[in-house]
Amino acid sequence: MGLEVSGPRAQDAFDKKSPKRFPVFKRKGRHDSMRYPDPEQIRIDLCRYDGDGRLVLPTIFLPRIGWVKFRKSCIIGGEIRNVTVSRAGGHWYAALQVEKEIADPVHPATTTVGGDRGVAHLLTLSDGTMFLPVASYREHQKTLAREQRRLAHKVKFSVNWKKQKAKITRLHQKIAEARKTVLHQISTTISQNHAVVVLEDLKVRNTTASARGTVEQPGRNVRQKAGLNKAILDQGWGLLRRFLEYKLSWRGGMLLLVPPEYTSQGCAVCGAVDARNRVTQATFHCQHCGHRDHADVNAAKNILARGWQSTAGHAGVACSAA
């Protein structure tokens, strides 16, 4: 006897016209984590001494596991609400969510700056500051390809296959950590020196879409577009935006997002938009007023101007342009 189910299905909500993406099943071994939601069962001992009176690593008590040593990466302040234990790259991490009251911060700086994200330079500011691109993946690309070839020659799910798989996972984790370190340094520097930062509201997912096309309508310059996509993803544009957003918020600053259309083709002096203005990758020469500047700096100035236009008439925004 079969079971007949009537009514709309959950997957019917994810049609082609819906902005929601179809859910992806969680694979075993990826993003493994567990959460302890009861704060009364969690205890932390930061000052622990051994039998000889020497200070040892702090420990945390987790239900059904017991006391576990951990390395403290930041100051733990406030009331602990929950703990999430996750595994990444062969290492275990404990993320503590705490609750505490803080006063509304006031940013010490009074300047605002526009930023243009790119490939030749990770970020170019309107005051002329340029940050070198992140090349963590490029530096390890050959090593990663060699290790993946070794994995392909092993019997799947064998002991040596699992060892090689773990080695590749650690290499991916090393690449990601190197990228995050550079982005943390850049975002911290910018959030400390500027109260307001204006960036383009880029859709990175759409920007890095494949140009392969279909069988009926094949794409053009597929290899060149694939190389550009790889370079963009290696920069971590979306991660830099998130870092700037919460670090500016912590210090009392603000991140503004503006439309990205024609910021690289428009002149920051006269406002004329012309595709011929972008002479080369690094040179901008306005065909109408003759203004010359670095192409990325000119784009950053246009982004800053759009940020001022978006905040025109809003109270509480009183910063001087950098």
Among all residues, which ones are annotated catalytic? 116, 200, 296
Could you identify the residue written with the tokens 């025109």? Answer: 312
Q: Is 112 exposed, middle or buried (0-12, 13-18, 19+ CB in 10 A)?
A: buried
Assign 3-class secondary structure to 127-144: CCCEECCCCHHHHHHHHH
- Give CB contacts under 8 A, 24+ apart, made by 93-96: 94/60, 94/68, 94/70
Contacts of 286 (CB under 8 A, 6+ apart): 267, 269, 270, 272, 274, 277, 292
